[in-house]
Structure 1
Amino acid sequence: MKKTSIFRALELQARTQIEDYLASQPQFSVKGLTPLFINGHQYGWLESCTAAKLLHFSERWIKQDGKVELQGKDIADELQQAARYLQQEGLIGGWRNESYGVYAEDEHGQFDFTNSLCSLERASFRRYGFLSRAVHINAYYPDGTLSLGRRASTKSIDPNLLDNMAAGGIPMGELVLDCAIRELKEEAGVTRDVAKRIEFVETIHIQRNESDGTHNEILYCFDLALPEDFVPCNQDGEVATFYRLDQMDAINSLELMTWDAGRTSASFLLRKGRLSL
């Protein structure tokens, strides 16, 4: 068999492996969930246990016509107090003291991220089924190897799993690009001169059922070409260690990543990978 034929066979095998991984990603189902409406607009999804707790918490939470609705003023205070109650009841863990913006879809299925309903504790978003946003950066070296991090064992979500070199949620009031540059500094010690080379490539909307609610998140995905001599160094205690993997090792590691990081890395490998090498 000619060398080019061998390379093509290897590339086809690699692509098939990535596509099989993508097909294995969990899908979202509304079975057993109740839509959450706020002042007439749907914002999230509630599991039956969460809906029951909220209906017990305050008379402002009403169930009718197959949905749970919260109406009135001071929505932010009610959501925050209810979230604290859910935490006390054991339904929310890992309180972050970070605020995300709460957004609803318009009639065209679009979101206006310049206009939020309110800000709310990050840890409550899955229980409410609210949409969150995050940045993910695929960092790679001139030879095509990728830099991946292993999440610290102290992380409240997905401890010890592999992740992109830098990734993180976008807090209320922070711009997407600023968040990406900040996460690169905090998680991998990337200087601003290197970080500003990042290239925005795509958004990916992830939605799936999790044990702690609905994970509904928009991922803003970036590529970052690293200098050959760059050595990542975590600054905030959220990454235990880093690995530099060739692309086949990265493909074989997809199942060891968080679902979001794996989805982001798989997209990078299909889009930009040298899969026959």
Structure 2
Amino acid sequence: MAESVTQPSDLVTAIAAGLAARSPFDPAAHLRLTMDGSQVGWLPRAHADILRRIGGLLGDAGEGAVTLLPGCATFDARSAALATLARQLADAGHVRGWRNELFAVTPALEAPAHAVVERAAARFLGLLTFASHMNGIIEGQRALWIARRSPAKAVDPGMWDNLVAGGMPHGSHPLETLVRECDEESGIPPALAARAEAHGVIEVLREIPEGVQWEHVHVYDLSLPPDFVPHNRDGEVAEHRRIEPPALLAIMADRAMTVDATLVTLDTLCRRGWTTSAAPPMPA
């Protein structure tokens, strides 16, 4: 009996099912977190209870919404209050993976930030965050480079990721973030990294153990020379792998790649028509 062969279309169906299973979000279980009248996050109701016990952090905004730091009116005052809160939450074990990196509290990337907060506390509060992810495409080949996250990472340790991926700190630009992460994570020189092509933004909104991942992921593709071999410089990547679409689809179908990286990878595979066949068509 001939062995059955898993078709790429079947793998894509499995990937879609996996993404849905790993991306639950119940709006009723969350409060719209606002600041200066604009929504900056989705606060889990259980986390709102923790903040209310601390006191002075939330105000009622009606219609299932709360205001963050209603008693603070300036960027500096809000940022100072959030710095104190982040440390309290960390000391109580509610947040982990302290980064010493500041994320903006803002309704949009292009909007002025209302405040900044330690990155580790962003998902506890369900804040809107921003990231840059890049598919490393091997020039002239039907293949990509991907990276496995270090087992020491606070989030998604040991999982497969895009060749380069990084959160966007306050005051940074998507391409600027990408160029910096390219150098640190894969040893890609800035002149080459700056040639990355932008392919839009993917929104991620899902419940996670830390709280909520609400993220706008900026998608990039970069064509890499065939002889280029990535090398990690910051200790955040355990290994790099050159991989072709069939094996990559299988990794994603097995849910061994992070949710955001799966979305970004599937985006480029679909754009390039690499999800419809396991190999380039044979000549007639």
TM-score, normalised with respect to structure 2:
0.86
Q: How does 1:81-100 map to 2 (within 5 A)?
A: 81-100=84-103
The residue that corresponds to 2:55 in the other structure is 58
Equivalent of 2:249 in 248, 251, 255:
251
Alpha-carbon distance in structure 1 between the residues aligned to 2:16 and 2:55:
41
Residues 40/149 of structure 1: CA separation in 2 closer, same or farther (3 Å cut): same
Q: Check conservation: 2:52, 2:58, Cα contact below 8 A.
A: yes
Match of 1:7 in 2: none
Q: Deviations over 1:9-39 (max 9, x none)?
A: x9x9313422441243114222322222334
1:128-277 matches, within 5 Å, as 128-141=125-138, 142-254=140-252, 255-274=255-274, 275-276=276-277, 277=279
Q: What corresponds to 1:48 in structure 2?
A: 45
Instruction: State the AA in 2 paired with 1:132.
Output: T
**Paired residues of 1:15 and 1:270 also in contact (CA < 8 A):** no
**Structure-2 change in CA distance of 1:135 and 1:82 (3 Å):** same
Structure 2 residue 78 is the aligned partner of structure 1 residue 78: no
Which of the residues 22, 33, 36 maps onto 2:33?
A: 36
Query: What's the secondary structure of 1:256's corresponding residue?
Result: coil
Q: Provide closer, same or farther for how the CA distance between residues 60 and 132 of structure 1 changes in structure 2, counting only shifts above 3 A.
A: closer
2:268 match: secondary structure: helix
Shift of 1:77: 1.8
Deviates further, 197-206 or 21-30: 21-30
Q: Which runs of 5+ in 1 are unaligned?
A: 1-9, 105-110
Contact 1:22/1:263 (8 A) holds in 2? no
Distance 1:89 1:48, change over 3 A: farther
Over 3 Å counting, the alpha-carbon distance change for 1:86 and 1:63 in structure 2 is farther
Structure 1 window deviating more from structure 2 (234-243 vs 83-92): it is: 83-92
Letter in 1 for 2:44: E
Question: Partners in 1 of 2:175 and 2:160 — Cα distance?
Answer: 23
Give the deviation of 1:168 after TM superposition: 0.3
Q: In 2, Cα distance between the equivalents of 1:235 and 1:207? A: 30
The code of the aligned residue for 2:37 comes to: G
Cα offset for 1:230? Answer: 0.5
Q: Which amino acid aligns with 1:205?
A: E
TM-score, with structure 1 as normaliser: 0.88
Contact 2:86 2:117 in 1 (8 A): no
How many angstroms does 1:162 deviate by?
Answer: 0.2
Amino acid at match of 1:229: D
Tell me if structure 1 keeps the 8 A contact 2:109–2:130: no
Residues 197 and 59 (structure 1 numbering): CA distance in 2 closer, same or farther, change over 3 Å? closer
Secondary structure of 1:31's aligned partner: helix
Change (3 A) 1:151 1:205: same
Q: 1:5 maps to which residue?
A: none
CA shift, 1:273, in A, is 4.0
Aligned to 2:179, the other structure's residue is in SS state helix
Q: Deviations over 1:52-91 (max 9, x none)?
A: 2211213343357444333132222222212221112211
Q: How many residues align?
A: 261
Distance in 1, Cα, partners of 2:57 & 2:122? 19
* Residue 116 of structure 2 is aligned to residue 116 of structure 1: no
**Taking every aligned residue pair, what percent have the same amino acid on both sides?**
32
**Is residue 92–residue 212 contact of structure 1 (8 Å, CA) maintained in 2?**
yes
Q: State the Cα RMSD in Å.
A: 1.9
